[in-house]
Amino acid sequence: MPKVTSLELISEARLKGHAVGAFNVYNLESVQAVAQGVKEANSGVIFQITKSAVDYAGLKNIYDIVMNNIDIYNIPAAIHLDHGPSLEMVDECLEIGFSSVMFDGSSLPFKENIEKSRASVEKAHAHKATCEAELGRLVGTEDEISVDEKNAIYTNPDEALEFVESTGIDLLAVAIGNAHGFYKGEPHIDFERLGEIRKKVDVHLVLHGASGIPDESIQKAIKSGIGKINIDTEFRYATMRGIEDYLSEDAGTSAARNALAAGRERMKQKVIEKINLFRPSN
């Protein structure tokens, strides 16, 4: 099955009242875990790749691994650049075949974010790819971007309208109380703000930093208009727990592949769990 765009997957999911899971991958095992979980759950998915994943695995290498698994498991999937730090990286990913990209200008002044996000949209659409951008600043660290609490900024609904109209983006990532990484306390999602943004803009909305948000809040967010949900921290944590549990039981093993397989299985189960959560009617 050929790769599709994020926009195609999300548009189809929203017709059913669902959201699409977007999982960050960085090596063979993480890609296999997503592909196997998606196949078992009978769903579409977005494979997300960050700059740090590219630095670790190599752009062509990780792209080819994802494409091979899309073909092997015959799943509808998009390949997405997550938090692209530059327009140059957007270009590189589109040229190699990514079907979806995000230029992250959330740390830039509003007008500069518009300017560079618009340029990213033009590049993406020239390749028939989906383009995501972010407005607002989430607390926490994602790849090379760190934001502390005093510098966090919620998405302003009126600015969201101007941003969408000025850039032509397909997907808008919002800051509504969500955060990157683990939450220090129970997260409080601003559903009133989400509702106002939903009324203002006619593009699909994205929830970053979904790891650790209570299930009921996730499903309420989906019903309030969220169409794409990013999972990274919980996914990585599941990997490490699987490997640690295996090593604690078989401390004398010399087969690293067995430990990696244990981590992969735990990741796969997390993917299935999240996909089912993102389909409220199920």
- CA-closest candidate to residue 6, choices 276, 144, 205, 279: 205
Which residues of the chain, if any, have pLDDT below 50?
140-143, 146-148, 150-151, 181, 183
User: Coil, helix or strand for 147?
Assistant: strand
pLDDT at residue 89, rounded to an integer: 98
Cβ burial 181-205 (10 Å sphere, 16+ → b, else e):
bebeeebebbbebbebbbebbebbb
Residue ranges of domains in the chain:
6-232+270-277
pLDDT at residue 237, rounded to an integer: 87
Q: What are phi and psi of 22, to 5 degrees?
A: -125, 115
Residues known to be catalytic: 82
Q: What is the pLDDT of residues 209-255, one digit of tens each?
A: 887 888 999 999 999 999 999 999 888 889 999 999 998 886 666 67
pLDDT at residue 139, rounded to an integer: 56
pLDDT at residue 255, rounded to an integer: 78
Please state which CATH class domain 6-232+270-277 belongs to.
alpha beta
